Structure 1
């Protein structure tokens, strides 16, 4: 399956954003206030002048403050990759990310906790502390002038995001300017966005690649980014107070978030009268959820999209209408974007392509595939995830199980081939959590099980073998282990429950019997 009608971006991304800007229109709306397109561009240019002395990656730390976007754009203008770091991440995890990227500058939209502040200082990283709106930047001199610097090398990194790693160390994915330009050009060409008339929902953290869709969708259409904070998302009353009557035209989120919103009876067309489309990515969209949205929001389009972080947000898309939503089986994730080739690898021989209709591993090739993992000299082993085709194109073995419908060429994704899962849109490596569990004092061995609800992972349960030094009492054990894991893992990767077991079940080959573990966990 190969996408056709290739779309090309014209010019560097910062220049495209500046050309699309509607000066007096809000570029970003959040609880901290709003900034117009003119203010965003002016403050980003001034911030770029403060960052112009070096070429290394720029750490951008915060949550959903408009100042975080200023850090992204300032780095883009200079051709320096930006590294989004959500302030909810444990300082220890951020320290490992810092070691991987070699950042020399950090833009802070809020104060980091003392351990992270000490880490920044110890590494000699120069920090620029901004208020949530970047107030005061407009008074700084623009030492590099009003003309944008030379365009960056298309193959150079535009941003670096971190995904889960089985060794316990997060893996950095460097996405190139060319890959980002290809994705955004396809996104804009695929939908009837109204220049200067779009408002995109931002649900995902800026450190999660789904946010790339709404951030640049808004900025490249002269539209508005409507950012939700994690506090609003966690409090239904605050969330629906904010959403009620909001001028959203494009909803970008994981399906899980929409499912959560549907629990509120008022979440329907009258609440969001301007809404035109739902764009879903990050996890499977179920037919039941699609049907519920089509019923609650008549006339609003529902789109299902697919793509790992390593292939720049999304590489397939399909509009889910009433006929597709009526299906009992899984929904298709669509056809390949222009210039993208997708095939199914034979599960018994990864180098061999499976015939259409056969199940196997989804493989993606083309201009949106990352070069490899950051600082990983072994990114291209013979059986590794990244490889280069004879014609020079990069390809990525996703680890996702899928098949291509021989009737119309649509791609279907049926989950993970390995022990990696998607939980509320976040990709989680089960083995990474187990690695950290075994490092908790008093834990001799551990296994983690995703517990499903409505056919989707809902939460995690950990089974642990404890030493005599650690209490095996339920609540005390859970509290102790969760507190320890919170030092090194993001909140979504910390198991909700922890249960003690005398021993973990093994297969005849001496490997962990995950099926038996699941039965024990319930």
Structure 2
């Protein structure tokens, strides 16, 4: 189902689309406001370039997103935590006619006088939250309030949004995700999360500039759920955050493992706090076994779902419901089986598919794969290609029947099923069909002649008795890796210093891995810093501890 169709369907009800503390937005108003915004964009834009949004959480962000889609334009979310250079790079790349600024500051201006824009924003219309509210309020009964015809909307393989991720060159890469990509994702993810058109409340915590947010945003809105937003300000205050969670009565949780790990450190984070919670989805980071174990204990009625997928394949491509058998296997948790209309294959360094159980690079093929990076042909040639051999020759008969039932419009894009993406992730396919994730190719290092996977060490460190979380960083000398350093967060603080804790941790770690893989030094910290995406901030750790 197209996201805009979903908005229109539930605009005929009295359901709420978004709750953000005391602010609420109904589906009816979401549809009405987004029409006004779409018509305003069409009337005041010189191009059909993407619309940029600079924000964190606010009930009026969604009308801008849907308004952009109704106007036939993609939107580009930028979080308020983005450094100045990142914002400038993104705006330079997409050349928007408009930037919707939801901050209280004057980022895009030189002085207090709002007419004095920074040089690189001279030709961009900056629309503040106040400006936006005035545009909506003043045009409720004007021509701008007219319904935007669906032939104007973003459709097919046109871009719905562009998410910018870090690039090896220092410039961010814009991942293009189309309506076609999103429809495939929504159809797959909605039943996994139990979002089926009935009234459900879905936690809306990840920043919209982070691909994980799509997991709750699009299945939620397409199926009439209520997004319960938790802003950066709320998340920064544990008491306030838990108060909001209690009020939410949420059914569905979507976050990184790091974020829920922080919540689990509080003993009150249990089923009593969230009695309706039935689904917990984690994508974007490795889900530690211990985190899954605690969740199964504290939320026995809820499914813990581990998933995998890069931004370039519309967030998620595989999932598995974690069982006690997974938790007690002594192995890291699998990341699931691929969605039915997609294929994952594992290849060696020559690009040849390896036998089941062997490790190699993960390749994703299917309708969720992006058309590529925005205006970046060089990177596209490296990462994307079109599969020449039909990867669905062994597709099951039941799924073939489903494919045949589709509309001619859907079948029109069948050739896009062959798009493939080289993830740069390492993994293998287990005997039961589950994918085992084994870290990044670029997290592979060589130390003293040994090939070492950083994430292998981190996973084993988490098995050590009093270790809650760990990051391993290579330390360079004369442009070569001299040794490894572990940054460790303990489950329970103790009176031992860095040195004694380090000796104790390394001794136990030696039970799990060879001597050459054990970090030379260990630093104990109170808690892992996180970035705006809720992931561990490795860059900050490097700056502080190397």
Structure-1-length-normalised TM-score: 0.77
Q: Give the one of 54, 57, 60 matched to 1:64.
A: 57
Q: Give the one of 430, 440, 464 matched to 1:416.
A: 440
Larger RCO: 1 or 2 (CA < 8 Å, sep 6+): 1
State the Cα deviation string for residues 397-454 of structure 1 (Å, max 9, x = none): 111110001x21111111111049999xxxx9x99xx9xxxxxxxxx98999884547
Q: CA deviation at 1:491?
A: 10
Judging changes above 3 Å, is the alpha-carbon distance between structure 1 residues 182 and 326 closer, same or farther for their aligned structure 2 residues?
A: same
- The list of structure 1 runs, each at least 4 consecutive aligned residues, that deviate by more than 6 angstroms after superposition, is 420-423, 444-450
Q: CA deviation at 1:116?
A: 5.8
What residue is the counterpart of 2:353 in the other structure?
A: 353
State the Cα deviation string for residues 220-268 of structure 1 (Å, max 9, x = none): 2211111111122222222222222421100000111111100010000
What residue is the counterpart of 1:403 in the other structure?
A: 428
What are the ranges of 5 or more consecutive residues in structure 2 without an aligned counterpart? 111-116, 390-414, 445-453, 459-470, 491-528
Give 1:9-88 correspondences, 5 Å limit: 9=1, 12-21=2-11, 23-31=13-21, 33-53=23-43, 54-88=47-81
Q: Please say if residues 63 and 86 of structure 1, whose CA atoms lie closer than 8 Å, have aligned partners that are also in contact.
A: yes
What are the ranges of 5 or more consecutive residues in structure 1 without an aligned counterpart? 1-8, 435-443, 456-481, 501-520
Give 1:297-446 correspondences, 5 Å limit: 297-346=299-348, 348-349=349-350, 351-381=351-381, 384-390=382-388, 393-405=418-430, 407-419=431-443
State the Cα deviation string for residues 145-173 of structure 1 (Å, max 9, x = none): 32433043411111000111111111111
What residue is the counterpart of 2:468 in the other structure?
A: none
Q: CA deviation at 1:55?
A: 1.4
Query: Which of the two has greater helix per residue?
Result: 2
What residue is the counterpart of 2:147 in the other structure?
A: 146
Distance in 2, matches of 1:47 and 1:68, equals 11
Q: Please say if residues 46 and 138 of structure 1, whose CA atoms lie closer than 8 Å, have aligned partners that are also in contact.
A: no
Give 1:481-520 correspondences, 5 Å limit: 492=537, 494-496=539-541, 498=543
Equivalent residue pairs, number: 439
Q: CA deviation at 1:48?
A: 0.9
Q: CA deviation at 1:326?
A: 2.0
| Secondary structure of 1:244's aligned partner | helix
Distance in 1, matches of 2:202 and 2:484, equals 35
| Secondary structure of 1:251's aligned partner | strand
| Secondary structure of 1:238's aligned partner | helix
| Secondary structure of 2:171's aligned partner | coil
Structure-2-length-normalised TM-score: 0.74
State the Cα deviation string for residues 53-83 of structure 1 (Å, max 9, x = none): 4411000111101111111110111220000
What RMSD, in angstroms, separates the aligned Cα atoms of the two structures? 3.2
Judging changes above 3 Å, is the alpha-carbon distance between structure 1 residues 326 and 134 closer, same or farther for their aligned structure 2 residues?
A: farther
Judging changes above 3 Å, is the alpha-carbon distance between structure 1 residues 237 and 153 closer, same or farther for their aligned structure 2 residues?
A: closer
Distance in 2, matches of 1:342 and 1:317, equals 12
Judging changes above 3 Å, is the alpha-carbon distance between structure 1 residues 355 and 225 closer, same or farther for their aligned structure 2 residues?
A: same
